[in-house]
Structure 1
Amino acid sequence: MKKILLLSAYKSDSHASWVKWLTQNLSADWRVLELPGRYYRWRIRGNPLSWLDELPALLNDWQPERILATSMVDIATLKGLFPQLAAVPVSYYFHENQFAYPQGEGQHHSVDPQMVQLYGALSADECLFNSQFNRDTFLAGVDALLKKLPDCKPADLRARLQPKCRVLPVPVNPLAVGEKIPGLILWNHRWEYDKKPEDFLTILRGLSSKHVNFKLALLGPRAEKTPPVLQQIRSEFAAAIVADGMVSRAEYEHWLGAAPVVVSTAIHEFQGLSVLEAVSAGAVPVVPDDLCYREQYAAANRYAPGQVEQAAAQIIAALQQYQPVATPAAFMQAGADWKSWLEQA
């Protein structure tokens, strides 16, 4: 049984679900080190320090044959700090890449996160991405960064990196299709700037102005302090809300199975697991013609980014003539692809 050290430096919900799927479905001798999904800048720069005492204790009587590390992990530094890891092959997994991550209001730009991922990719034996969009924006971002650097820089890093890059999505376990609730619109994303919920509010106002009779399931993680846009939706559309907040997994799957339509207004999405899960449960996606969505859904399910009137029209059409779409085959195949990865690792 292959010995695999799995390092995840930022245990968000999606990263934790990925780790759980791998360790439960792939037969290997797993050792897992995870760090909490908070204090992002400290996590991406400080994870070698955070594991400085824990890793030696683990490696004292166990030596991995493969390292699977997320791209938040400063794997280049870890290999330098721990000589017993220096020769261990590394698979570097990109849930996201810092070259294509939108900057929020009040955030300061820093090249450090990009450099961590660049050094990690260079030191890894293979770079795995959860979507083509993720891979392509990473490689384009590396090119753009090199053009900005003043001097003493290597030639064409893309040519060095591209041959070891491949797409390997996070597996999606299809959910049961339930009895659809007429008019139910699902929002199942984080209530943060990169999902642009302000556009969702505008879409709802547009539907209301057209006298569309709809219901709302407002799911997904949210901060302790209620986001203003969520407060506004609650105020304007209280009578339409049938679910609101973090619910149990069983309740979550119920609402996904009951919703005819799932909406995204994201300005950042590298795989879009929440929409993929909803689509597997029979929801029709209404998503931006951008990001990872272009490789997943037909043009009929995509609207021009920011064009809320077009999005509203697509929602109305989906509610009036409900026709579910197939979950993209590549993502349904991902479980088998991960098993093949383990055989080759």
Structure 2
Amino acid sequence: MADSSGILLIEPFYGGSHRQLTDVLSSRVEGCVVHTMTAKKWHWRARTSAIHFAQTIPQDHRFRTLFCSAVLPLSDLIAIRPDLSSLQKIVYFHENQLIYPVRKKQDGDFQYGYSQILTCLTADIVVFNSSFNMESFLGNIQSHLHLIPDYRPKDIEKLIRQKSRVLYFPIEFPVRLEVKEETSKVNKEDGPLHIIWPHRWEHDKGPDEFFECLFKLIEDGFQFRVSVIGEQFSEIPEIFDTSKERLGGRVEHWGFMPSRDAYYKALSEADVVVSTAKHEFFGVAMLEAAYCGCMPLCPNRLSYPEIFPKECLYNTPAQLLKALKRFCKFPEMAKKSSILVGI
């Protein structure tokens, strides 16, 4: 018997913000059938997930809409499963590969961006989580395709732009944060400044710059506590282990939080949330922390100027250090500042 559900929801990398969006859609939109793969080996998911889904999605169905993240090589899936070609195909870009900062440039890197271009050409609607994400992708299509030695395609940006739009990431916040009231006096007034860094433990989130800033605070005699939480994968940059040792007793929380409740509790206990990202297309964790009462300090680049007022932005590491020194001297200013700027 054919599945009467109307929406086929595909996520090849079911983790982090990809998981959050999948869960929100499947719980809020009626008629979703979800097909996922685990959040491991991102590069292999981007290359090979189409054939997996081609084999696991039932042949007998009544789907009307296909929604997927841009990790899925959509053109491959449609080629293998032509019965899905008549569906309205919507692709959501959490991030794009045309400006992804690779540490070691290789010829194979071309294919990731090229696959996303093909996915856009195959889709009916292309959705980005920020204007920065959309413009950085569309604006780099021509230069990416220029890497092709000859027979370069033309007008691809125009074809994709006319079907593109921005839809900010939907965040579900907890209804109540009881921990905020319980811990505010002890942690936000009586103790030293509590700095939190809630990002993926990868090089593109700029951990080196963050830890260097903390070490300068220590050298200059400032007191603070720090929590470094966020998702971790099989390869963790060495800077995390060496930094934990140097930070010693200043560490409050370290590592991925075991539950969403524990995660929000950690955010609620902090005063300032810092991003040092080199690669960020929305910034879910920064908004979650701001909701929990933290004063955000973000680089004046990427998607952050779209989301946060100028009072939350810094232009250089020196400006970040200066802001943290000010809050270390007067921790209560962090809370007051977050209220004054409307966070």
1:8 maps onto 2:11 in alignment: yes
1:42 maps onto 2:44 in alignment: yes
Query: Would the alpha carbon gap of residues 134 and 226 (structure 1) be closer, same or farther in structure 2, given more than 3 Å must change?
Result: closer
Aligned-partner Cα distance in 2 for 1:116–1:326 = 44
Aligned-partner Cα distance in 1 for 2:94–2:290 = 20
Aligned-partner Cα distance in 1 for 2:155–2:122 = 16
Q: CA deviation at 1:328?
A: 9.1
Q: Note if contact 1:276-1:327 (Cα within 8 Å) is conserved in structure 2.
A: no
Aligned-partner Cα distance in 1 for 2:340–2:134 = 24
Q: CA deviation at 1:109?
A: 4.6
Query: Would the alpha carbon gap of residues 74 and 226 (structure 1) be closer, same or farther in structure 2, given more than 3 Å must change?
Result: closer
Query: Would the alpha carbon gap of residues 224 and 39 (structure 1) be closer, same or farther in structure 2, given more than 3 Å must change?
Result: closer
Name the structure 1 match of 2:323. 314
Q: Note if contact 1:104-1:194 (Cα within 8 Å) is conserved in structure 2.
A: no
Alignment: residue pair count = 323
Q: CA deviation at 1:99?
A: 0.3
Name the structure 1 match of 2:112. 113
Q: CA deviation at 1:52?
A: 3.1
Q: CA deviation at 1:122?
A: 0.8
Q: CA deviation at 1:167?
A: 0.8
Name the structure 2 match of 1:59. 59
- Which one of 9, 15, 20 corresponds to residue 17 of structure 1? 20
Query: Percent identity, aligned pairs only?
Result: 26
Deviations 1:224-259 (A, max 9, x none): 566421222221211111111122322211111121
Query: Would the alpha carbon gap of residues 225 and 120 (structure 1) be closer, same or farther in structure 2, given more than 3 Å must change?
Result: closer
SS of the residue corresponding to residue 109 of structure 2 reads coil
Aligned-partner Cα distance in 1 for 2:15–2:70 = 13
Name the structure 1 match of 2:172. 173
Aligned-partner Cα distance in 2 for 1:21–1:259 = 26
1:236 maps onto 2:250 in alignment: no
Q: Note if contact 1:280-1:326 (Cα within 8 Å) is conserved in structure 2.
A: no
Deviations 1:132-164 (A, max 9, x none): 111011101212123333332333222111121
Name the structure 1 match of 2:160. 161
Aligned-partner Cα distance in 1 for 2:69–2:127 = 9
Q: CA deviation at 1:222?
A: 2.4
Q: CA deviation at 1:63?
A: 1.7
Aligned-partner Cα distance in 2 for 1:2–1:226 = 40
Aligned-partner Cα distance in 1 for 2:74–2:304 = 30
- The amino acid that maps onto 2:313 is R
Name the structure 1 match of 2:338. 324
Q: Note if contact 2:13-2:45 (Cα within 8 Å) is conserved in structure 1.
A: yes
Aligned-partner Cα distance in 2 for 1:302–1:153 = 40
Q: CA deviation at 1:121?
A: 0.3
Query: Would the alpha carbon gap of residues 2 and 315 (structure 1) be closer, same or farther in structure 2, given more than 3 Å must change?
Result: farther
- The amino acid that maps onto 2:202 is E
Aligned-partner Cα distance in 1 for 2:5–2:127 = 19
SS of the residue corresponding to residue 148 of structure 1 reads coil
Aligned-partner Cα distance in 2 for 1:164–1:118 = 13
Aligned-partner Cα distance in 2 for 1:278–1:270 = 17
Name the structure 1 match of 2:79. 80
Aligned-partner Cα distance in 2 for 1:9–1:225 = 20
Name the structure 2 match of 1:338. none
Moved more, 209-218 or 92-101: 209-218
Moved more, 106-115 or 120-129: 106-115
Q: Note if contact 2:88-2:124 (Cα within 8 Å) is conserved in structure 1.
A: yes
Q: Note if contact 1:74-1:117 (Cα within 8 Å) is conserved in structure 2.
A: yes
Moved more, 105-114 or 209-218: 105-114
Q: CA deviation at 1:269?
A: 0.5
Deviations 1:103-149 (A, max 9, x none): 03486652111121111101111100011111011101212123333
Name the structure 1 match of 2:144. 145
Q: Note if contact 2:64-2:87 (Cα within 8 Å) is conserved in structure 1.
A: yes
Q: TM-score scaled by structure 1?
A: 0.87
Moved more, 320-329 or 146-155: 320-329
Q: Note if contact 1:172-1:273 (Cα within 8 Å) is conserved in structure 2.
A: yes
